[in-house]
A and B are shown apart, each in its own frame.
Chain A
């Protein structure tokens, strides 16, 4: 019966639950879904990670290639992030070029990477003006169940921490490069941005870590990314307005979340390195 009610009156179904201070999946308003991270599962990538937030699943794979630095920034490499919301992960998406949503989220992730300075592009330079690394960071969503940006950023951190690039001997006079696959070096990760998504339901109730149903029915979304004590992105793309108090309580929740996620990343990466 509940199933029929849900599909006929989705909003009312949610309101009934929320009026009893609980969400349909049994969570409190400020409760996160179980979070999982798995690193280094894909050998063909130079760094990889799979993150799960409840049922939302994102795989992040990093592949490095050689390129020539730009003339205006001769000592910097490149990071090229792209999020693929393939039709595999949800019936919402159709085959073909990326949907608007995929493009918006890709840009948001690119902004977060840039703003958090988690990778110094100068570290990716091999020889100024001649040779640099270009990191292709590809995110593939396997299951689209809300808070995809959070899952992407978590997977990104896992993948970056396990990223290993082969060492290169570059001879500038002859433009010769020799790659030594045995000797691999990791890239320093300077900060750990942690993203948290909130939804505003009926202009007043704030739900943390939303599922896809909640994202579809809500009247506003808010994504906060923290890097240590600093905020590196506070993105609220329209939707119902938010008071200052609500906003600061959201930031407070992010802070708590950030510590637990950081611990998770730390333990996962440690386990991987000990293997």
Chain B
């Protein structure tokens, strides 16, 4: 089955502690991380670091939909990072959508994982995301169909690399139970490629 190509460039920005520009298929997201940094009094947690996420759409101000993505990514990073090592501090992850051709959420999540890995903040596990599309012909695929109207449903799965359990799931459209399971199996296969790409990137130094 055809699957999206990954490419990325690390350290694209000079100010953040780590940054990455990540492409999944034709979708591109830029991510930066600051941390651990000073935290506002209201958000301070005494037993762990507070993880914040900032998601910006391609243009305009973030809307309600972007808030949903933001909270999704924040929750995932909060689970994956060992926040208890940095009490009374904050970890800020900033994401900027550059181009969306269907796999925006999974691309943003993968970019967030890469930037967390690159920053050297301790993590419990790696996480990766895969988007599957169910076309109107009830066919599952990893590449986004050319037009949005050809999509019956889309699934985003976020899995960890230790036991490949589901960290997060977000779906659009309606589908049957079997289709959900099939999509899950497919994403389990694909996630191996994602993790392999992460490892290759980190081993090979700065550029891919």
Contact = CB atoms under 8 A, between A and B. Distances in A.
| Direct chain A–B contact by Cβ atoms under 8 Å | yes
Given A238-B158, A241-B166, A230 B68 contact: no
A247 B171 CA distance: 15
Contacts of B78: 238
Contacts, number: 90
Interface in A198-253: 219-220, 227, 229-244, 247-248, 251
A223 to B, nearest CB: 10
Contact of B76 (A100, A238, A248): A238
A203 to B, nearest CB: 10
Interface in B172-189: 172-177, 180-181, 184
A243 B165 contact: yes
A96 to B, nearest CB: 14
For the complex of A and B, the 3 pairs showing the least CB-CB separation, nearest first, are A238-B75, A241-B165, A232-B174
Nearest to A242: B166
Interface of A: 100, 103-104, 106-108, 110-111, 115-117, 219-220, 227, 229-244, 247-248, 251
B173 A236 contact: no
B51 to A, nearest CB: 10
B65 interface: yes
Contacts of A106: 64
Nearest to B72: A237
Identify the interface centre among B72, B173, B175: most chain A CB within 10 Å of its CB: B173
B76 A231 contact: no
A103 B78 CA distance: 20
Contacts of B72: 237-238
Interface in B54-79: 64-65, 67-68, 70-72, 74-79
B172 to A, nearest CB: 6
Given A103-B67, A107-B68, A231-B177, A239 B75 contact: yes
B44 interface: no
A251 to B, nearest CB: 6
Contacts of A251: 177
A227 B171 CA distance: 14
A242 B165 contact: yes
A79 B72 CA distance: 24
Contacts of A100: 67, 70-71
Given A104-B71, A106-B64, A244-B184, A236 B177 contact: no
Given A107-B65, A238-B158, A241-B165, A233 B177 contact: no
Interface of B: 64-65, 67-68, 70-72, 74-79, 153, 158, 160, 163, 165-177, 180-181, 184
Nearest to A110: B64
A232 B67 contact: no
A247 B167 contact: no
26 contacts: A100-B67, A103-B67, A103-B68, A107-B65, A111-B68, A115-B153, A115-B171, A115-B172, A116-B174, A219-B79, A220-B79, A227-B174, A231-B177, A233-B171, A234-B180, A235-B169, A236-B169, A237-B72, A238-B76, A238-B79, A238-B167, A238-B168, A239-B168, A241-B160, A241-B167, A242-B166
Given A237-B72, A238-B75, A231 B175 contact: yes
Contacts of B180: 231, 234
Contacts of B153: 115
B129 to A, nearest CB: 11
A242 B74 CA distance: 18
A240 B166 CA distance: 9
A156 B3 CA distance: 39
Identify the interface centre among B65, B79, B168, B181: most chain A CB within 10 Å of its CB: B168
